[in-house]
């Protein structure tokens, strides 16, 4: 899992109501048996673009051709297009499921500011609980247990996320039981055996890099469904949404307070 945007609900107090302004958390669901194949595909991509060396794939730098991906700005139009097409094709071919939760900050404040004021949760609490639970439902549906990996940041943030994870295992979801009933929240006695482990990984992890690459498109997709990168994930059937039916009770990517 990776994060995008500020956790602070008051980060942009003057932001226009309909403008893109989000906090998102999410990434990829991977079957452990597919891990080596995914990493091999990513290694092969690197070999096709030796300019990368061992630079971690980072969505922001690739999109903006900045920092250690500044070399992209030196490519001619044809070569640049070939790089992006190759990256897109690699992602589309991987055995992954993309999931997450994206919270629209102005909508969140409109809904909760008057009622809760400064006692409002940080956006990461809402997003983490929703994203992890929906991933856990997918794992349980397939008879699997789930490890949750987050990107290394700072001790305070890591402990906060670990606290959310432990809270889910011990007590279930923290949301109002009446208003959340329609989402059929998993009780603690289901979450506890399904949520197997919480751990931290650096950007040196290829799967963590992949989580970074797919998170931005799903955040953008909440505001611009015609976004090219989001459209790729959708057309290649990578989104969790395609696995959801009325019969199995699975739930896709959550766009909260939009």
Q: Domain total for the chain?
A: 1
pLDDT tens by residue, 113-167: 888 888 899 999 999 999 999 999 999 999 999 999 999 999 999 999 999 999 9
The fraction of the chain above a pLDDT of 90, given in percent, is 91
Distance CA 196, CA 5 (A): 27
Give the domain range for residue 24.
2-256
Instruction: Return phi, psi of residue 219, to 5°.
Output: -65, -45
CA angle, 29 then 39 then 67, to 5°: 95
In this predicted structure, the answer to whether residue 29 has a pLDDT above a threshold of 60 is yes
pLDDT tens by residue, 158-200: 999 999 999 999 999 999 888 889 999 999 999 999 999 999 9
* Predicted local distance difference test score (pLDDT) of residue 15: 63
**Pairwise pLDDT comparison (76 vs 16), residue with the higher score:** 76
CA separation, residue 81 to residues 1, 72, 75, 106 (Å):
28, 10, 9, 35
């Amino acid at each position: 899992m990776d994060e995008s945007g500020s956790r602070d609900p008051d980060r942009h107090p003057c932001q226009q109501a309909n403008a893109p302004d989000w906090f998102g958390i999410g990434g990829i669901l991977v079957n452990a048996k597919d891990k080596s194949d995914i990493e091999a595909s990513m290694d092969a991509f690197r070999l096709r673009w030796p300019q990368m060396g061992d630079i971690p794939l980072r969505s922001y730098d690739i999109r903006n051709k900045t920092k250690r991906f500044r070399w992209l700005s030196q490519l001619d139009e044809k070569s640049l297009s070939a790089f992006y097409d190759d990256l897109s094709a690699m992602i589309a071919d991987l055995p992954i499921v993309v999931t997450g939760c994206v919270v629209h900050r102005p909508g969140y404040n409109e809904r909760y500011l008057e009622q809760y004021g400064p006692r409002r949760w940080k956006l990461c609490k809402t997003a983490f609980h929703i994203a992890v639970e929906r991933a856990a439902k997918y794992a349980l549906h397939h008879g699997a247990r789930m490890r949750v990996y987050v990107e290394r940041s700072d001790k305070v943030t890591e402990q906060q996320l670990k606290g959310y994870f432990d809270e889910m295992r011990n007590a279930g979801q923290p949301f109002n039981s009446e208003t959340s009933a329609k989402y059929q929240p998993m009780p603690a006695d289901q979450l506890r055996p399904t949520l197997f482990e919480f751990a931290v990984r650096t950007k040196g992890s290829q799967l963590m890099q992949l989580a970074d690459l797919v998170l931005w498109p799903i955040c953008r997709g909440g505001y611009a469904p015609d976004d090219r990168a989001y459209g790729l994930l959708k057309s290649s059937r990578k989104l969790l949404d395609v696995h959801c039916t009325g019969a199995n009770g699975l739930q896709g990517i959550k766009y909260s307070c939009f």
